[in-house]
Amino acid sequence: MSLIVPFDGSKLAEAALRKATRFAAVFDEPILAVTVVPVGNCAYATERGWIDDEAAFDGDAIIRGLRKQVETLCPDASFRVERVDRYAPPGTIAKRIRRIAREEGASMVCIGSENAGRLVTSVSSVGSSVATDDTYDVLVVRRADQTHVETAGNATQTNGPSQ
């Protein structure tokens, strides 16, 4: 069992990784940060802030930067990179993440997404697609500024609604 965090370097992905770190401590499970890179897709890389508008696509530099970001946020996390074709059809990234989650026996996928799980979602949302798989639980982190999770020793136990 492991905790999977799709990681694109965004503030929400960072928040999901920080939250996963706290869950990992409670559940005693390893974390795997997963990055999917469409090779040579400058538009995709620019949208995610991986490269500047004028910069050439350098996949190795992008991966080094994301790996360093993961190591800084969560030194104990493993980091896995998957490369897909620059013209991969919509849904390819989400399918790759779901496949990895199943291969790794994920107990939970912690994903930073503004719209995963909402009734109205973007058709191209990776978060929405990853959240539909029922082989693992999904934690959707929608706010980058809230990453607090109580540890098991500090959590209040309840047996239902308070009276």
pLDDT in tens, 92-148: 998 999 999 999 999 999 998 865 544 334 434 555 566 666 778 888 888 787 655
Task: Reply yes or no on whether the pLDDT at 162 is more than 50.
Answer: no
Give pLDDT tens digits for 35-67: 999 999 999 999 999 999 888 999 999 999 999
| Reported pTM | 0.79
Instruction: Write the secondary structure of the chain as one string of H (helix), E (strand) and C (coil).
Output: CEEEEECCCCHHHHHHHHHHHHHHHHHCCCEEEEEEEECCCHHHHHHCCCCCCCCCCCHHHHHHHHHHHHHHHCCCCEEEEEEECCCCCCCHHHHHHHHHHHHCCEEEEEEECCCCCCCCCCCCCHHHHHCCCCCCEEEEECCCCCCCCCCCCCCCCCCCCCC
Q: What is the mean pLDDT of residues 23-28?
A: 93
CATH number of 2-141: 3.40.50.620
Q: What is the mean pLDDT of residues 74-85?
A: 96
